[in-house]
Copies of this chain bind each other. A is one copy, B any other.
């Protein structure tokens, strides 16, 4: 799971299936110990950093590029859990409990990463209780994000999830908005738990609330109306 390690508050505009997008705040205690055993590594587009079920003997800090954390079921069908960006970490919580990764990690853009061995992480925790509280706060924030994602998946229709995702990308609070997707449409579909064709159907339904697509740019007639649509209750699921 992606997170900043220092205890950070959740962003107000966090979207349906977005992670806890925090600024990098590696200012807490434990950092010196952590970096002792760390190495810097690079990986190309489509490279697999680890697979679901692999032994969690390390975790990562992203310096540059983006990583998709994905789930895979018994038939090999995949879905993106979230996308990790520079300044965020992923995989640290897998060190505890069963010691295996519960998701896979694949490179979207070429990445530069700090790789921290699990053993070093555990030593840093044992050495400083303040560091423990920061990591626990971070795990708690992850739990909150996942609970919110489950809520979105259970309580919203596909078009509402897409509307919520688009609204989360717009800085405007009223009037017209112009939204550019941060990733390819198929990545967004996977992140929202849809097939690409379901996303297209959901998008077609959003025309009624003033959403148009023009060369991969989403033009919203009234962002306030779009936000209101995210919370409508008159849909069946």
Contacts and interface: CB of A to CB of B under 8 A. Distances in A.
Contacts of A94: 140
Interface stretch (A41-49, A130-138, A212-220): A130-138
Contacts of A232: 75
B150 A81 contact: yes
Q: How many copies does the complex hold?
A: 2
B98 A10 contact: yes
Interface in A61-96: 71, 73-79, 81, 93-96
A139 B81 contact: no
Contact of A71 (B140, B147, B237): B147
**Tier of interface size on chain A:** 35 or more
Interface in A121-152: 125-126, 129, 132-133, 135-144, 146-151
Interface stretch (A175-183, A190-198, A203-211): A190-198
A146 B150 contact: yes
B150 A93 contact: no
A1 B98 contact: no
Contact of A98 (B95, B135, B144): B144
B236 A195 contact: yes
A94 to B, nearest CB: 7
A150 B153 contact: yes
